[in-house]
Amino acid sequence: MYQRIILFLCLITFSWSFAQTKDKADTTEKVVFTDIVKVDSTSRFELYRKASKWAESQKFQIVEEDPYGGKIIAKNKITVYTDKGVLAKPNGEFNYDVVIDIKDGKYRYTFSNFVYTYIKMDRNYRYAPVKGKKPMEDGKAAGWKKQWGKNKMQVTNSVEGYISSLREAMKYVAPVKVAEKQKETW
């Protein structure tokens, strides 16, 4: 009789502790690269023109453009590789969203929703995506945790490169005064 009670209490305690750890593992935070950048003395229309030109030069797939609302929404993908140099093979692609919000004298960029798709060589020696997608926030990578860390580092480096080129493209350039022509004397 006592054994059954002890077994019952152990099962309840075990199931309660399992439920607690399961809840903690489910709470993941999204990976987002965002910042608000102030650009003094620049109108929102000029900033929008620069941002639109930058997005086109980076060959992003522009989903929505709103020049009056000051918003550009685009999609892009980054291919990650297993090795460097000659031995590099594509390992997968990270698809993500880019949002640029623009106001007078400032803009905000947001790189978010990173989703990984594994790529594998098929029987025709072409790389094709494999079923299943994985968000970048997912810390579990059974069997290839080391490569998952490398993939995330490659994405981080690429996004930081995009951010620095966006900041460079959006910089304020002071207008140059044109010197007045002096009267020509004969």
Task: Check residue 28 and give its pLDDT.
Answer: 56
Identify whether the C-beta of residue 47 lies closer than 8 Å to the C-beta of residue 166.
Answer: no
Mean pLDDT by 10 residues, the chain (186 residues): 45 41 50 92 90 94 93 94 82 93 94 90 80 80 74 93 94 68 62
Q: Which domains does the chain have, with CATH numbers?
A: 29-79+97-115+136-169 (3.30.530.80)
> Which pLDDT belongs to residue 146?
77
pTM of the model: 0.73
Q: Are 68 and 58 in contact (CB under 8 A)?
A: no
107/101 Cα distance (integer angstroms): 6
Residues 6+ apart with CB under 8 A from 62: 55, 56, 72, 73, 74
pLDDT of residue 65: 94
Identify the helix (H) or strand (E) that includes residue 11.
helix 2-26
Q: Residue 110 has what pLDDT?
A: 96
Q: How far does CA 21 lie from the centroid of its chain?
A: 29
Please report, for residues 15, 19, 70, 96, 117, the alpha-carbon distance to residue 171 in angstroms, rounded to integers and kept in the order given.
57, 51, 17, 25, 35
- Coil, strand, or helix at residue 27? coil
Instruction: Give the pLDDT confidence score for residue 40 in this predicted structure.
Output: 85
So what's the pLDDT on residue 119? 83
Q: What is the pLDDT of residue 29?
A: 79
